[in-house]
Structure 1
Amino acid sequence: MTMKKTTLLGLGALLLVIGLSSIVFTSPGEKAMTDTQHAEIATLASGCFWCTESDLEKVPGVLKVVSGYAGGEEKNPTYEQVSSGMTGHREAVQVYFDPTQVSYREIIDHYWKYFDPTDDSGSFGDRGFHYTSTIFYHSDEQREAAEASKKALDESERLGGLVVTPVLPFTTFYAAEDYHQNYSRTCPIRYKTYRKFSGRDSYVKETWGDEAKIKSKGATPQPCPLPGTYVRPEDGTIKDSLTPLQYKVTQENGTERPFDNEFWDNKRDGIYVDVVTGEPLFSSKDKFESGTGWPSFTRPIQKESIIENKDSTLGMVRTEVRSKAGDSHLGHLFDDGPQPTGQRYCINSASLRFIAKEDLKDEGYGEFMKLFE
């Protein structure tokens, strides 16, 4: 699920649970995991394991969720091997849960709500066998509960098609690499960007609405700090702090009118930062008159502050530009700019805040004075 521009590369454990005759292989990362010797386990595949893990760990009674590879014969597979589609493994998760708080049947009933179980060739933007869904049962009781849940979903006709997710006996599960574990928390911006553009969230909202919402258990672990001090605020805070136009542009991928925006003709020295987070994005030193009516730049201050995605709206293929820390829609990138880069970052004024050179130190951006020396 690593994203490069707009290509969605699909991406998309372990302790032996007492009382289960499961073959489970552990990774070094397992040593740091919490004690689950009295838990029961469910092994489930539904496409991207980042997303499956994030959705199911919110279920009350779930102790932890581990991302990994299930059902294949390749021993200790790597992500690259599984992604080739040649190992027989699927991206999957193992869900450790307290049976006194939540039943296996309830886990399965939740499981159906976060992917499309009528899709037999992949999951949303991720295609291929290794992204197909499966319930791997560990006992006859689990098999019966899973099949009953599947039958009930079919009979409800909720999905507009038959559930194709197979219910298979558990064989093997290997924990994925450490960097895949807890990905929604350790790399929140990349995860949210991937998930949004995969189509998963829009499907869940349209199919299940509020029924798919689960109140998180306790305090959410804090993600690893992003570079710098630029962190995206809560959604409610963002909406309260922005003008309607700023919100439409940055949060809803809107576009402002050309020649009728704040910075298209601004010629002062300074830097332009993300209006949502304050992350430095562009310098007046790289700004040029493009004749388009929007602020245009030959390059960002730091390439790492920008995310590029494929945009196929409006009947054409373009490269969308978003801020990294804030995941704000900024504008688009074109290859018709002046040298030395030949690029034109066409950016909405509403996504930016301008900080004049003389105000950089007072605003906390003193390190960028060197751009104007």
Structure 2
Amino acid sequence: MSTPSFANRITIPLLGALVVLLAIWQFFSAVDDREFHRDEARWIHRAVYLRELLHPFSDYWDESTWRTSGSSADEIYRLRAQPPVGSYVIGIGMLLQGEPLPHIGYWNMDHDDAWNAERGNKPSDAQLLAARRTTAAVGVLTALLIYLIGLRLTNPVGAAAGAAFFALHPLAIYLATFAGSDITLIFFIALSAWLAARVAERPTWSRAILLGIAIGLGGGTKLSPLGIAIVLALLGVILIGWRWLSGRNDHGMAKKGIDKLGLLLLSTPFVAAATFVASYPYLWPDPIRHSRNLLDYRTWGMEVQSTLWTQVAISGPREAVQRSWHRFASEDWSLLGRFLGVAWPVELWLALIGAVILAWLIWKRGLASGTALIAVVLGTMVVITFGGMGVDWARYHGPILLAMAVCTGVTVGWVTRGLKDLTS
């Protein structure tokens, strides 16, 4: 990144502060405006993972414990159902607000709200509010990260536009005011993209390790971000291999820097995997087999959902893309379309234009640039999302919204830059 001018040294923090204030206003003002969802009860219950993390070798993390004490199939296989990092985040947020970690039971989906409430499975209003405020805070940090990512791709106006698009979008508000892990997933994807750009700007082991940790924590939230580390490692192989086989240096970095960047990217899967395993005591006795248990249970769960709710079942990646397009083009999610009073999906086209501009920037700046690594992180998650989306729940579109926000900011940045050039 080039050194900002005096004007930008004022503009950049000012716009960043405005982005944060906008996100705070949007997310925190909406935490009370939605009805309780039973999934929130399970996430709040799992906040006790944070307390049990202090006893990583206890029977709590042994699946056999729940085979004998679980009241439902979901509770019996609870350790396979969700990785724990999202639960840790909710627990930390509750403690920071002075709310003790909960002692509620595990919500049984086979029974209604009244049955679960009678048995102490429903969180109190204070617990629910504290958990939602936690996810709202994570949403604010995500908006700030989108702004920081945008600064590496375009001008401050474009970066702020992308972050504002995210903060104002109905899906972001929905995810940031839901006591769950979906907004935490988006946060770690955005953090990984920003850290990847920093590794490209200055390849050091400390930055690469932080990148691997961020990806590993993302995997500890929803598994899928672990794929980012594999793709980054493949990019590292390409950078080193292309440079040595061709003898050329057209990736925007000195030869020695390319070799080091490639080596750092190759290390990413190892750091990410180590972080992922370290974050979850359930994995410790047999990391490979228990990780497969998580993945198999996730696949099975997606199949069950598509069978139970056929109206939202998705047959494959092609239909996933179509469903996502219709979602973001719908009146409920067409933020800019409603604002401008037009029927066509303005933001989708702005994002597609931004993706084309991003591809051109990668061509100009090289595969070893921060621009390329940002695109790899975001693009990998979009591909994984479409490939693994078995049902069309709103929350599964979060990584796509993140990529759209960044690409929309790129488009706005180029438009404002063009207007500035015309008027100067």
Higher relative contact order structure (alpha carbons within 8 Å, sequence separation ≥ 6): 2
Higher helix share: 2
For the aligned pair, the TM-score class normalised by the smaller chain equals: under 0.3
TM-score by length of 2: 0.21
Higher strand share: 1
TM-score by length of 1: 0.23
Rg larger for? 1
